[in-house]
């Protein structure tokens, strides 16, 4: 069992009562996690640009329901390892990290829950290692099997004269130059831009496109923070990225073609284990990936239920924690015993 560690001194927000910070060794380095409760393991994987802290509302709720709730910092984030090579952030490495965490915690299997990029990581973890990850809950980003042309080719064709944000993130240093001078302000604008209560009047998705010669932040809304994001929450996220820098997080985007090549053996493969999907009505991911949702009977044959939260944006488990907790714990309780 890994030893507990003291939370970083720079942290400005409390750890949920009863939870512990740990560092565990995995084949690719170390992973920082926060753990609470006992029972069957539930591993939670965050997205961009977040950290373990995006699960702060779920840790105590899942622990109280009788589970061992664990939220990790994905490699490149927080106190987890930050390798320098771009290719070290490929999906195969992130799946291996998750397997390593399960084993480091003395477990053989886990249910995996992911949001945003974490949804992709959770789905691929369950797809590649169904012996370890026996069920998957996917938040905000729908599941879509590997297929089609190279992802960078697809994304290059989106947006007309404007540049899709995934394409904008490809060149090392480009997005960093926009973010680094004001990490706190950039994060606040990005969170607000795709939150259900503060996104721009232009509607869902306008933030994701960069005008010619512009920056992503040119589309950030002006006005108040989202209701779910306190000053202390923003301080925590900003403190993490000011300490680590954004490159590790951005390198996930820079591996989409490498992932497409690495996962060729799983082309079109369905995710057959028990699954759950929760999305926000105002999240542009649902509009862009509507065909993926329609294909769930084929691609997610083990889907137990799918839920779209009215008026909610992208940050579902932070915007609607009580509702997400109810859906997650109800789904967990209905899973076959392991």
Q: What is the pLDDT of residues 174-222, one digit of tens each?
A: 999 999 999 999 999 999 999 999 997 765 567 899 999 999 999 999 8
Tally of CB atoms within 10 A around 148: 12
Please provide the average confidence, as pLDDT, over all residues in the chain.
94
Query: Would you place residue 224 in the very low, low, confident or very high pLDDT band (cuts 50, 70, 90)?
Result: very high
| Total number of residues shown for the chain | 338
Give me the DSSP letters along 19-30.
Answer: -EEEEEEETTEE
Please determine, for residue 33, whether its predicted confidence score (pLDDT) is greater than 60: yes
Out of 46, 57, 236, 314, pick the active-site residue: 314
Residue 12 is predicted with a pLDDT of 46
314 is catalytic: yes
Residue 107 is predicted with a pLDDT of 98
303-309 and 163-164 beta bridge pairing: unpaired
Q: Which CATH superfamily is domain 4-334 in?
A: Alpha/Beta hydrolase fold, catalytic domain (3.40.50.1820)
41-45 and 29-36 beta bridge pairing: unpaired
Residue 53 is predicted with a pLDDT of 98
Out of 88, 97, 116, 259, pick the active-site residue: 116
Residue 11 is predicted with a pLDDT of 45
Please determine, for residue 82, whether its predicted confidence score (pLDDT) is greater than 90: yes
Residue 159 is predicted with a pLDDT of 82
Alpha carbon distance 142, 244 (integer Å):
29
Q: What is the mean pLDDT of residues 96-107?
A: 98
Residue 205 is predicted with a pLDDT of 65
Q: Please enumerate in sequence order all residues whose Cβ is within 8 A of that of 193, keeping only pairs 6 or more positions apart, or say none.
A: 199, 200, 206, 207, 219, 220, 221
Residue 7 is predicted with a pLDDT of 47
Please determine, for residue 2, whether its predicted confidence score (pLDDT) is greater than 60: no
Please determine, for residue 334, whether its predicted confidence score (pLDDT) is greater than 90: yes
Query: Would you place residue 321 in the very low, low, confident or very high pLDDT band (cuts 50, 70, 90)?
Result: very high
Element (H, E) at 294: helix 290-294
116 is catalytic: yes
Q: What is the pLDDT of residues 291-303, one digit of tens each?
A: 999 999 999 999 9
CA-wise closest residue to 76 among 52, 56, 108, 40? 52
Query: Would you place residue 5 in the very low, low, confident or very high pLDDT band (cuts 50, 70, 90)?
Result: low
């Amino acid at each position: 069992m890994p030893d507990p560690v003291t939370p970083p001194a720079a942290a400005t927000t409390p750890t949920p009562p009863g939870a512990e910070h740990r560092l565990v060794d995995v084949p690719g380095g170390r992973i920082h996690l926060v753990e609470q409760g006992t029972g069957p393991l539930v591993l939670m994987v965050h997205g961009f640009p977040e950290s373990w802290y995006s699960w702060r509302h779920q840790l105590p709720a899942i622990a109280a329901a009788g589970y061992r709730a664990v939220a990790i910092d994905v490699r490149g984030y927080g106190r987890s390892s930050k390798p320098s090579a771009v290719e070290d952030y490929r999906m195969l490495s992130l799946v291996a990290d998750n397997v390593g965490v399960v084993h480091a915690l003395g477990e053989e299997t886990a249910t995996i829950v992911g949001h945003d990029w974490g949804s992709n990581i959770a789905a691929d973890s369950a797809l590649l290692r169904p012996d370890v990850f026996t069920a998957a809950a996917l938040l905000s980003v729908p599941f879509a099997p590997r297929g089609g042309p190279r992802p960078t080719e697809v994304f290059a064709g989106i947006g007309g004269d404007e540049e899709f944000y995934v394409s904008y993130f490809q060149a090392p240093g480009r997005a960093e130059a926009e973010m680094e001078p004001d990490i706190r302000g950039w994060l606040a604008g990005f969170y607000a831009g795709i939150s259900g209560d503060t996104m721009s009047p232009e509607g869902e998705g306008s933030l994701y496109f960069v005008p010619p010669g512009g920056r992503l932040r040119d589309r950030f809304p002006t006005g108040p923070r989202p209701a779910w994001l306190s000053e202390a929450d923003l301080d925590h996220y900003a403190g993490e990225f000011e300490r680590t820098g954004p490159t590790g997080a951005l390198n996930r985007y820079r591996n989409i073609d490498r992932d497409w090549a690495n996962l060729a053996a799983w082309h079109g493969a369905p995710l057959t284990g028990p699954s759950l999907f929760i999305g926000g009505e105002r999240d542009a991911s649902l509009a862009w990936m509507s065909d993926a949702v329609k294909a769930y009977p084929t691609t997610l044959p083990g889907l137990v239920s799918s839920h779209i939260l009215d008026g909610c944006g992208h940050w579902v488990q932070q915007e609607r924690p009580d509702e997400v907790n109810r859906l997650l714990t109800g789904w967990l309780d209905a899973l076959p015993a392991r």
